[in-house]
């Protein structure tokens, strides 16, 4: 009777429940190397391929150990964050949260340019485009009326009217 391995040209099919892939690229690469080494060893059965398979297994175990160490480090940071939060040290708490999540402060307000001269030039060009060309104000000796004088007198009139109006009783 033909076995499953013989039907699939020497490769045993894995069940769907065991086909879980970790998104970590280190583990994915190690798993691919191990599967290739395993396929070669099944086909050839040589001692050299067996050694390559054992090396690939060790690489996979090391990848999982690295993930375990990273997990332990993150758990430690979570515990530290909880303690800092309960002590009211919110700035340090958010610093740890941002570090773990990979979130960084945006470079808001920074002007593009390698040197201070380039940054000044960038600002100059920006405001030149924003404000347009300078207007010619020579020869215009008109007085511009202040808008605050008119509004101030209107505001004082409105306030005096409010003081003189009787207040309604609220029921």
> Cβ distance 151 to 158 under 8 Å?
no
pLDDT at 104: 72
For 17, which DSSP code? G
pLDDT at 110: 74
- For the entire predicted model, the pTM comes to 0.40
Locus of tokens 């290739």: 36
Q: Where do the structural domains in the chain lie, given as residue ranges?
A: 9-101
Higher pLDDT, 104 or 171: 104
pLDDT band of residue 54 (cuts 50, 70, 90) is: very high
Terminus-to-terminus CA distance in the chain, angstroms? 98
> Among 10-14, 23-27, 51-55, which range has the highest average pLDDT?
51-55
DSSP 137-169: -TT--PPPPPHHHHHHHHHHHHHHHHHHSPPPP
pLDDT band of residue 74 (cuts 50, 70, 90) is: confident
∠ CA 99-100-101 to the nearest 5 degrees?
95
Integer Cα distance of 65 and 26 in angstroms: 11
For 15, which DSSP code? P
Q: What would the mean pLDDT of 133-157 be, rounded to a whole number?
A: 67
Higher pLDDT, 4 or 162: 162
> Cβ distance 51 to 40 under 8 Å?
no
Which range among 17-26, 61-70, 82-91, 135-144 shows the weakest confidence by mean pLDDT?
Answer: 17-26
What is the rounded (10 degree) CA torsion for 83, 88, 94, 97? 20
pLDDT at 52 over 50: yes
pLDDT at 144 over 90: no
Residue 65: closest CA among 21, 14, 30: 30
Residue 2: closest CA among 10, 76, 34, 164: 10
pLDDT at 115 over 80: yes
> Cβ distance 79 to 39 under 8 Å?
no
pLDDT at 55: 92
């Amino acid at each position: 009777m033909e076995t499953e391995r013989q039907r699939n040209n020497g490769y045993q099919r894995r069940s769907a429940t065991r086909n879980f892939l970790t998104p970590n690229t280190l583990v994915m690469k190690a798993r691919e190397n191990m599967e290739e080494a395993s396929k070669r060893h099944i086909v050839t059965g040589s001692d050299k391929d067996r050694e390559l398979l054992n090396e690939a297994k060790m690489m996979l175990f090391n990848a999982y150990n690295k993930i375990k160490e990273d997990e332990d480090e993150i758990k430690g940071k979570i515990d530290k964050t909880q303690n800092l939060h309960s002590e009211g040290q919110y700035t340090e708490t958010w610093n740890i949260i941002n570090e773990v999540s990979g979130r960084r402060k945006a470079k808001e307000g920074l002007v593009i340019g390698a040197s201070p001269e380039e940054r000044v030039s960038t600002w100059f060009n920006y405001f030149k485009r924003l404000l347009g060309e300078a207007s010619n104000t020579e020869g215009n000796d008109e007085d511009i009326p202040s808008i605050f004088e008119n509004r101030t007198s209107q505001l004082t009139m409105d306030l005096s009217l409010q003081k003189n109006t009787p207040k309604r009783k609220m029921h």
